[in-house]
Structure 1
Amino acid sequence: MTQPIYKTEKRKARVGERILITYDAYSFGFYENGDVVMVSSVLDEGIKGYGNGWLILHHEYEVIVGEHTPAPNLDEMGYDELVALSEAVMKALRTRSYKLGYDQGRFDADIEATHGTYEKSDQQKRDEIVAQAKEDVETLKMRNRLSKAFTIQVIERPKSRSVEATAKVPNSRKAFYGIAKCAPNDCFNAHIGKAIALRRALGLPVPAEYLNVPQPTEVRVGDVVRGRQANGVEFYEETIQNIKDGAYYYDDGFDFINNAELVIIDDSRTEGGA
């Protein structure tokens, strides 16, 4: 186990403080350097600790005024220790997730009490959920970097309208997987897919809003749309490059659509993926 690092002061201790043995000269084996003792009484020549009653001379210790536990060295940990650490991190993430949800609920209630309520459009609701998903993914990745519990990989697959996530335990064959696949009639969004897949890989609950997000209603630059030409003959899929005067431009910027019923099939508005 990782041992804590203590910050100490060289002075006479007070009752209730902890001391660190730094100069074991007269202990006769009853205490040794590195031992931590809680002070029960202070005498002219030294202190006594709770539970042992042995006199510890003032020059044999330093008073502990702070401590911190360094991050564990994963390369030196055994398989069982790594599994125990990963399970502890998962539990902490679940607890924090529920706490953040509760705090958000309180915040929303306060806003509603102060400003009243109004009905948001489906597009506004979707925009908020996408923003939440982006922040969710970055937060989960940041906490994992700090804990070093997993090696995380997230892969977008726009062609199959899915996202896959893997959380692998370092120096181990153990890994956890999560996948998010868009329903055929829904609009694909890679950011929401990443949040769902990553949470599933980490064993975290998936918020209901990620699974029941409203469909987009407003075509924007970067959206992939499906529609038909004005004569109603040919179906096509295009990425919108520009919107001007009611015309939706795609490809090289010269071709456009101005009389068609467009369906947004991907509003990730992100490049890359596999």
Structure 2
Amino acid sequence: MTETKKYVRIKKAKSSDLAYSVYIGRVFTVIGENENEYILHSVNVLKEDAEVIVTENRKAAVGERVLLTAPTNTKGKYRVGDVFTVKESGETGVRVAEIEFMTLWHKEYEVIVENEEADEMKIDLNAMGYDELMAHGEAVMEAIKKRMFQEGYRSAKQAQRKLARINAEKSAQARHDEIVEQAKADVEELSSTFRPGCPSLIYPPSAFDPSRQTVEFIVNSKKRTVVVLITYVSSITKIKNVAFRGIAKAAPSDCFNVHIGRAIALRRALGLAVPDEYLNAPQPTEVRVGDVVRGKYEESYYRYEDRLSDDSYEVQIKEIAEGRYHYVEGSYDFIDSADLTIIDNSREEVGE
């Protein structure tokens, strides 16, 4: 028999002096109870002020309601206690009816089951006397006003945090884009105008023809490196020599960008200072077509597929459409549930 678990949602509080008055609408695990109260981890709540929710920890079927108990895949949009209706049930998770494209992994929810305690809490208004009905109505109106204030405050704070996060992400992405464009212009200018002169004492300066100087970049995306070779051909010996060499390598935690790498390598080869913004460019936050990203498998998936030594995958974005990231390799992820890290946004093959 599947083990059940009991939660309570705090519905009201007779007085703002009660400790749980600030938790109206929140869901808590019941760890015990007595005749009048449910015992929670941090506070006790009167039974008459709480709604009982009984759950089973199992895979949900289509049409069942589920209680969000351990959110890991909702990106902060939803919280413990939110209730959803299952419209699709798969091997690793369920799709819900309330939010398009939203997936809950099986470990994130518990299935709500029918229970007598919850039914007993239903209020029969017709059975109340006039005075009791009026008193109950006043309590309901007070609870509604308090709930409206709390929900409004919470919604405002959520909107504020979301806006701040969006602005921060936009600022980081915009600054990253500016640095990439700066690096492109830097490479173009230094490659065509900067002439370091003859680096060797074997040949006099008159033997060096600047027009014979070439700049060659060697890019290794797998090793996340860019090497530049500046060569020249002696007008005397006609021999091609490597005059200067520079290298740039992206840190394991950084997104590799070939344009920034070229600028760093070229400046090092020429003995020029490397601007701090090249070395500490903000990480990109916006996934775009052509990006190479690292995705993370849900634990239940890679354990089921016997992928214990490899819980992630690397793919390139082919298209972003219909709420999905479509990959060059042929697979896709839903945007709302994807856990992606941009590891290479050079995008040279798409003309950037």
- Match of 2:347? 269
2:257 to 185, 189, 193: 189
- Match of 2:226? 163
Q: Distance in 1 between matches of 2:277 and 2:313?
A: 30
- Match of 2:280? 212
Residue type at the aligned position of 1:248: Y
- Match of 2:188? 138
- Give the TM-score normalised by structure 1: 0.51
Deviation at 1:156, TM superposition (A): 0.9
Deviation at 1:246, TM superposition (A): 2.6
Q: Structure 2 vs 1, CA of residues 242 and 205 (structure 1 numbering), >3 Å: closer, same or farther?
A: same
CA deviation profile, 1:85-134 (whole Å, cap 9, x unmatched): xxxxxxxxxxxxxxxxxxxxxxxxxxxxxxxxx98611000000001001
Residue type at the aligned position of 2:323: G
Q: Distance in 2 between matches of 1:174 and 1:260?
A: 46
CA deviation profile, 1:244-272 (whole Å, cap 9, x unmatched): 1331000255x211122100000000139
Q: Distance in 2 between matches of 1:123 and 1:247?
A: 21
Q: Distance in 2 between matches of 1:207 and 1:244?
A: 37
Instruction: Specify the SS of the correspondent of 1:215.
Output: coil
Q: Distance in 2 between matches of 1:163 and 1:155?
A: 6
- Match of 2:312? 235
CA deviation profile, 1:110-161 (whole Å, cap 9, x unmatched): xxxxxxxx98611000000001001111111221589537321111110100
% identical aligned pairs: 53
- Match of 1:251? 328
Q: Distance in 2 between matches of 1:261 and 1:190?
A: 24
Q: Distance in 1 between matches of 2:287 and 2:273?
A: 31
Residue type at the aligned position of 1:223: D
1:224 to 263, 282, 292: 292
CA deviation profile, 1:37-85 (whole Å, cap 9, x unmatched): xxxxxxxxxxxxxxxxxxxxxxxxxxxxxxxxxxxxxxxxxxxxxxxxx
How many pairs align?
Answer: 154
Q: Distance in 2 between matches of 1:213 and 1:232?
A: 34
> RCO higher in 1 or 2 (8 Å CA, sep ≥ 6)?
1
- Match of 1:150? 213
Q: Distance in 2 between matches of 1:200 and 1:246?
A: 43
- Give the TM-score normalised by structure 2: 0.41
Q: Distance in 2 between matches of 1:207 and 1:249?
A: 36
Confirm or deny: 8 A CA contact 1:229 1:260 kept in the other structure. Answer: no
Instruction: Specify the SS of the correspondent of 1:216.
Output: coil
Larger Rg: 2
1:199 to 267, 270, 281: 267
Residue type at the aligned position of 2:216: Q
Moved over 3 A (4+): 144-147, 229-232
Q: Distance in 2 between matches of 1:232 and 1:197?
A: 41
- Match of 1:129? 179
Q: Unpaired runs of 5+ in structure 2? A: 1-166, 196-208, 303-310
- Match of 1:40? none
- Match of 2:156? none
Question: Over the residues paired in the alignment, what is the CA RMSD in angstroms?
Answer: 2.5
Correspondence list, 1:50-199, <5 A: 121-144=171-194, 147-148=210-211, 150-171=213-234, 173=241, 175-199=243-267
Deviation at 1:188, TM superposition (A): 0.2
Q: Structure 2 vs 1, CA of residues 154 and 226 (structure 1 numbering), >3 Å: closer, same or farther?
A: same
Residue type at the aligned position of 1:170: V
Confirm or deny: 8 A CA contact 2:229 2:242 kept in the other structure. Answer: no
Deviation at 1:175, TM superposition (A): 1.5
Q: Unpaired runs of 5+ in structure 1? A: 1-117
Instruction: Specify the SS of the correspondent of 1:197.
Output: helix
